[in-house]
Structure 1
Amino acid sequence: MQTAEFEIIRGFDAPRELVYAAWTTPERFARWFGPRIFVTPADRVLLDARPGGGWTATMIGDGGFEVTLSGTYREVDGPGRLVFTTGDPDHPGDEPASVVTVTLDEEGGGTTMRFHQFGVNTGAEHAEQAKAGWVEFFDRLAEHLAAQSTASKSSARPRA
């Protein structure tokens, strides 16, 4: 069985509660989860963010091509930490599966996210592809958080 792991550290100009909500609220998760060539409709996202709860997200590409990812939450300690699986790393069969740990730390009015993924049945090439995919997802997450921040700042301004 091949194993591989990687870490991505990313800063966001948003409070950690907002970053955590982007991971745990289907409507927000749907806005950033997946590569840009896919859409992830909110009604195709299930996030039962509690230990033992499941998560599922279906991404839809051109011509209706669908990719569904799913797993189980192992730890939910919001707004600072999520641990979840993709697939079933305890019984993966021949399929790639992994454990993801996301930690969110407040820093200077923003949030530092540490994303760690450990995969089984995952070679180095697959891990590099997964890492590149997550980097694109997190670019989209940064855009979503910036839009949320702009919207909340403009709604907080007094109206003339």
Structure 2
Amino acid sequence: MTATRQFTITRTFDAPRAAVWRAWTDPAIAAQWWHPHEVAVPPESVRIDPQVGGRYEYLMIAPDGSEYPTGGEYLEVREPERLRFSWADPGDAVDDAMQITVDLTEVDGGRCEMTFHLSGVDEDRVSEQSVFHGWTEAFEELDDALASTTERSS
């Protein structure tokens, strides 16, 4: 029997909820942060169709040149408050993939609280700690992407 794990990360961003939603659904912005530190996502590799049954995909490239194609299917889309989607290799079945739920809530001062929940980490395939660490770094990248996006729109 395979052990599966889950975790939740809650962060507050100094950006309005609409900007955080856009960061999850706009390919140009997603390419800036859908990766841990030191990893690149070529903008042309990002495809996003944020509707139930729609798919997304992107390619992460590690510093040593290793490539990690990633993708999934949107299972729930309620703009601007919730996204739920599978997360795996692009060809994996939804039933075999990890699932991510992102809830966005407006908080005081035009900020956004994001609750990110990932379930179905298959400990036989990947370490829960490495997945948690990767997403934590991605959200640090998201902070930077939101700051540069907000500066450009000011």
Scaled by the length of structure 2, what TM-score is found? 0.89
Gaps of 5+ in 2: none
Q: Does 1:68 align with 2:72?
A: no
2:28, 2:153 → 1: CA distance? 17
Q: What do the CA deviations read for 1:72-110 (whole angstroms, capped 9, x no partner)?
A: 1100111110000013351x3xxxx31100000000110
What does 1:5-154 correspond to in 2, within 5 Å? 5-62=6-63, 64-87=65-88, 88-90=93-95, 92=96, 97-108=97-108, 109-122=110-123, 126-153=127-154
1:130, 1:75 → 2: CA distance? 22
AA paired with 1:103? D
Deviates more, 1:52-61 or 1:75-84: 52-61
Identity fraction in percent = 37
1:120 positional shift: 4.7
2:121–2:128 Cα contact (<8 Å) kept: no
Q: Which has the larger radius of gyration?
A: 1
2:4, 2:84 → 1: CA distance? 18
1:89–1:120 Cα contact (<8 Å) kept: no
Q: What do the CA deviations read for 1:12-40 (whole angstroms, capped 9, x no partner)?
A: 01011110110001000001111222211
2:149, 2:10 → 1: CA distance? 21
Deviates more, 1:39-48 or 1:131-140: 39-48
1:152 positional shift: 2.3
1:10, 1:20 → 2: CA distance? 14
Q: Tell me the secondary structure at the aligned position of residue 70 of structure 1.
A: strand
1:59 positional shift: 1.2
1:8 positional shift: 0.1
For this pair of structures, how many residues does the alignment match?
147
CA RMSD of aligned residues (A): 1.6
